[in-house]
Amino acid sequence: MTWNNATEYLSVGDLTSTQVASDLARAGSCIREGGLVVFPTETVYGLGGDATQADSARRIYAAKGRPSDNPLIIHIAEPADAEPYAHTCDTYYRLARAFMPGPLTVILPRKETIPTETTGGLETVAVRCPSHPVARALISAAGVPIAAPSANLSGKPSPTCAAHVKEDMDGRVDIILDGGDSEIGLESTIVSIDGEDRVTLLRPGAITYDALCMVVSEVQIADAVTSQLKEGERVLSPGMKYRHYAPDAPVILLDGEPDTVVTYLQKEQCQKRCAILCYEEEIPHLSQAADASLLFPVGSRDDLSAQAHTLFTLLRHADRAKPDVIYAHLPPQSGLGLALYNRMIRAAAHTIVRL
């Protein structure tokens, strides 16, 4: 397939402006007519098409270079808007009352209105109500549910600003809506609900495991959230089996006491061109031995929200510096840390050095 679309860039920062209202109406028509529109959400940018058209799903897979068995999330404005497309249940509405609109995706049995092209051939469909006002305005302008994966080329970090979308999607989509930086910076939490009402966490995000447990009594964590899949193992979510968020340089995660990690990094800096996703507290200790432009501060050690917000941007920046290796800390597995841990072990292809 050749890409020769002239992508249109529209700034949608001010939702009170009449120009923005008319741009969003046009972007909504574009989706209805089978086109592709990139839009901001509170998690990451999405690459949207009409979830009810098989051809739109095919175009999304082609634009991302994504295998067509990796299903798409459908974005709706209100929890009850899932009714025409999915078989809902009490547990869905309990989760919806607590967390929607917001960064939660729920997997439910599909209705015929959603083609299997959108669901990667599965009989289930992933449903999400984003809270970002531009995403919500676009969904209502389109008048159809919007199928949207993250707007990166398959295998690249998810984009958290329009500049990153441009790097990956220029010429491959019709319109890119620029709504500034994504607030959260990591993709939504994904849970599935099975026939017996059991809830399983498939992808951790800003809605944490503990928050889910406050609403439903038992939540299982899928093995693939924290561990490497074994050869031939069945996956609950197809996205888990693909290499993800991977910069070109190898990523190595370090696990150890703060002083030990700093000492290890100082030694490595003398021997290799090391890009380091470091804590702010470490900058004075790491800026003497090496080029400070290879330090990428992710935030302070205890500020997991800041780390979530900056992670994907810094992976892109670190990779651009063409280092021999990218070092980062192994995140904790509690709270928002579990989402960081899940993304980092994928970026690092499970390479962890225990010090």
Q: Which is nearer to Mg ion, 23 or 187 (CB)?
A: 187
> Which of ligand TXA, Mg ion, none binds 310 (CB below 5-8 Å, type-dependent)?
none
- Binding residues for Mg ion, how many (CB under 5 A)? 1
Tokens of 125: 């469909």
We find the least distance from the C-beta atom of residue 149 to Mg ion, in angstroms, to be 5
The residues in 139-158 that bind Mg ion, with binding defined as CB under 5 A, are 150
- Cβ(147)–Cβ(135) under 8 Å? no
DSSP secondary structure string for all residues of 235-251: -SSGGGGS--S--SS-E
- Cβ(143)–Cβ(55) under 8 Å? no
Binding of ligand TXA by 63 (CB under 6 A): no
> Which of Mg ion, ligand TXA, none binds 306 (CB below 5-8 Å, type-dependent)?
none
What region, left, alpha or beta, does residue 243 occupy, with left being phi > 0 and alpha being psi -120 to 50 degrees?
Answer: beta
The residues in 184-223 that bind ligand TXA, with binding defined as CB under 6 A, are 187-188, 190
Residue nearest to ligand TXA (CB): 239
- Binding residues for ligand TXA, how many (CB under 6 A)? 25
Rounded CA gap, 256 and 261, in Å? 6
Q: Which is nearer to Mg ion, 150 or 200 (CB)?
A: 150
Q: Which is nearer to ligand TXA, 312 or 327 (CB)?
A: 312
Rounded CA gap, 351 and 203, in Å? 20
Nearest to 238 by CA among 121, 348, 64, 65: 121
Q: Which is nearer to ligand TXA, 57 or 298 (CB)?
A: 57
* E strand or H helix at 106: strand 104-109
Torsion of the alpha carbons at 349, 48, 235 and 112, rounded to the nearest 10 = -170
Q: Which is nearer to ligand TXA, 124 or 307 (CB)?
A: 124
- Residues binding ligand TXA (CB under 6 A): 41, 43-44, 46, 70-73, 105, 107, 119, 122, 124-126, 128, 148-150, 187-188, 190, 237-239
- Residues binding Mg ion (CB under 5 A): 150
